[in-house]
């Protein structure tokens, strides 16, 4: 967390801002505090996007849908301003380290943990998709780990007109991923994007969890985006027991990919206090408890 800048407002709605957490293509993210000092996450939409009528309409639609997310393991929308001069939304603060930093520190997760990760993330995506939404930016930084299982606490918001596709299957939550290695072929080709795109990104995240590398990270011809679009995923280091599950997520044709329900059924991972190796679990628990 970084200190607030001079241009940052001290409060947004009823929430006092404590510090900056990051800035993306759509919003600036802050750690905030509710009137009772409970930590919250506050995302303030860029001013130029807030002046775009189409963006404003989509933002309101997506926030209304996201309010219906049931949790647990997902961030609940606490409050939002969807019609005023400054657009923002606040969600519950879900503590825990990211999958990315955990794998960087401890290396690949064992097979059982990858199965738990697959099943729980697929379940969370299924909840999103049932509301007519897609996540749109799933990567190892978007996944948090807790002592009793993984969490998918964040959701994005629509980009400016033309930035994210709205399909018959639902609107896409989220910006185009910063890392092309975790995009879907539809995203890198700038094609209409629906819930199937999330499953491809899920497959890439699971390969990272199992090998500490994305399926398109190794050298080869073309850019990472080109490899996502055209190359076969590199699953050589994925344990044989997981290879079929992950390969079915990484099919180029969206219509032929696994569904979240397929992934959840095949993964058959059971979350619980022993889902991570002991040293990793102790570190995760310490991070979750850290104020």
What domains can you pick out in the chain, each with its CATH number?
Answer: 11-92 (3.30.200.20), 99-277 (1.10.510.10)
pLDDT at 189: 93
Task: Identify which of 230, 280, 231 has the alpha carbon closest to the alpha carbon of residue 103.
Answer: 280
pLDDT digit string (tens) for 6-21?
999 999 999 999 999 8
SS3 43: strand
pTM of this structure: 0.83
Cα(98)–Cα(60) distance, integer angstroms: 28
Read off φ and ψ for residue 11, nearest 5 degrees.
-140, 155
CA distance 60 to 19: 26
Mean pLDDT by 10 residues, the chain (291 residues): 94 97 85 96 94 91 82 79 94 90 97 96 90 85 90 61 35 47 93 93 98 88 90 96 98 97 91 92 92 54
Q: How much is the pLDDT for 182?
A: 93
**pLDDT at residue 71 in the model:** 64
- If DSSP codes are grouped into helix, strand and coil, which group holds residue 95? coil
Longest dimension (CA), the chain: 55
């Amino acid at each position: 967390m970084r200190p607030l800048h001079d241009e940052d407002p001290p409060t947004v709605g009823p929430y006092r801002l404590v510090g900056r957490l990051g800035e993306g293509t759509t919003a600036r993210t802050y750690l905030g505090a509710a009137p009772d000092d409970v930590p919250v996450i506050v995302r303030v939409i860029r001013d130029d996007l807030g002046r775009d009528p189409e963006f404003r309409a989509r933002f309101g639609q997506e926030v209304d849908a996201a309010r219906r997310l049931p949790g647990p393991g997902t961030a609940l929308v606490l409050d939002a301003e969807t019609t005023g001069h400054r657009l923002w939304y606040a969600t519950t603060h879900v503590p825990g380290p990211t999958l990315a930093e955990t794998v960087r520190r401890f290396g690949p997760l064992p097979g059982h943990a990858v199965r738990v990760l697959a099943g729980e993330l697929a379940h969370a995506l299924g909840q999103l998709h049932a509301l007519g939404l897609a996540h749109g930016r799933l990567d190892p930084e978007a996944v948090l780990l807790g002592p009793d299982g993984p969490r998918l606490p964040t959701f994005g918001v629509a980009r400016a007109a033309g930035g994210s596709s709205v399909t018959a299957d639902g609107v896409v939550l989220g910006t185009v991923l910063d890392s092309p290695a975790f995009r879907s072929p539809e995203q890198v080709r700038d094609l209409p994007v629906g819930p199937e795109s999330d499953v491809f990104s899920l497959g890439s995240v699971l390969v990272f969890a199992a090998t500490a590398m994305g399926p398109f990270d190794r050298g080869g011809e073309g850019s990472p985006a080109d490899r996502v679009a055209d190359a076969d995923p590199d699953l050589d280091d994925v344990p044989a027991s997981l290879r079929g599950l992950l390969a079915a997520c990484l099919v180029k044709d969206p219509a032929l990919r696994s569904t979240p329900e397929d992934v959840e059924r095949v993964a058959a991972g059971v979350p619980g206090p022993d889902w991570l190796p002991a040293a990793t679990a102790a570190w995760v628990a310490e991070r979750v408890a850290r104020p």
